[in-house]
Amino acid sequence: MILFPDSMPVFLNFHAHRAAVSPAEAVVRNFVLPQQGPGEAEKVAGSPFSAGIHPWYIPARTDEALADLDRLASCPSCVAIGEAGLDKLASASMDVQCGLFRRQALLAVAHGLPLVVHCVRAWGELLALRREFPQELVCVVHGFRGKPELARSLLDKGFWLSFGFRFHPQSLTLCPPDRLFLETDEDPRPVDELYRTAAALRGCSPEDLATQCRENLANLARKLKK
Ligand SMILES: [Zn+2]
């Protein structure tokens, strides 16, 4: 798997729909299929990226999009599947969303990749789905804004958490360092700013937090790609 070389910038942005906006930012670019098409993801092949089918944009031809996703997942620079997810505000039924979540989770397991999870008001469904999968499925809940009780419950069940600019400070501080990522998602600001805020709350330096998050991505790859 191609991760960021040591010569690359330090601040890992685990999930963003754009390229880097600061020289210090190392972005895992996310591609939403089929909106962006596999061609777009392939253009950046060589830099770490993630790709998946978002619950807001479920295509009519799901099989085709999943076949494209399967192919993209084989790229050495694909570091995660997703965002896959469950969203009570999306127009697709929960049944359809759960079905697609399962199929993306199976792809993640088959390719030894983590699954980036988008979850809106469907935590019960997410936990039920997670129980269907073996330990090797690592789910990273992205853009986590939940309260500490929810954070604890997810962490207890093996989930990882990725925080954006909007987060509950206690949830951020209780997350163990080895199950944490930071991301900007749709936000145009560089992730560097978020590292400074998060590091101050966690009582460490932004550089140490950055080293930890980069190691987390490398550790996930080592753990899953066996
Ligand atoms: Zn996103």
Q: Residue 41 maps to which CATH number?
A: 3.20.20.140
Q: In this structure, are residues 152 and 178 in contact, taking their beta carbons and an 8 Å threshold?
A: no
Within-domain flag for 6: no
Residue located via tokens 């991301």 = 183
Reply yes or no on whether the pLDDT at 134 is more than 90. no
State mean pLDDT over 11-23: 94
Distance of CA 180 to the CA centre of its chain: 11
DSSP, res 35: T
Reply yes or no on whether the pLDDT at 102 is more than 80. yes
Q: What's this model's pTM, rounded to 2 decimal places? A: 0.94
Reply yes or no on whether the pLDDT at 40 is more than 80. no
- Could you list the residue range(s) of the whole structural domain that residue 87 is in? 11-224
In this predicted model, what pLDDT tens digit does every residue of 108-120 receive, in sequence order?
999 999 999 999 9
Burial of 113 (0-12, 13-18, 19+ CB in 10 A): buried
Within-domain flag for 1: no
Q: How far is the CA of 85 from the centre of ligand 1 (A)?
A: 11
Reply yes or no on whether the pLDDT at 73 is more than 70. yes
Q: Which residues surround ligand 1, an ion (CB under 5 A)?
A: 185
Within-domain flag for 5: no
What is the band of 47 on the pLDDT scale with cuts at 50, 70, 90? confident
Q: How far is the CA of 16 from the centre of ligand 1 (A)?
A: 6
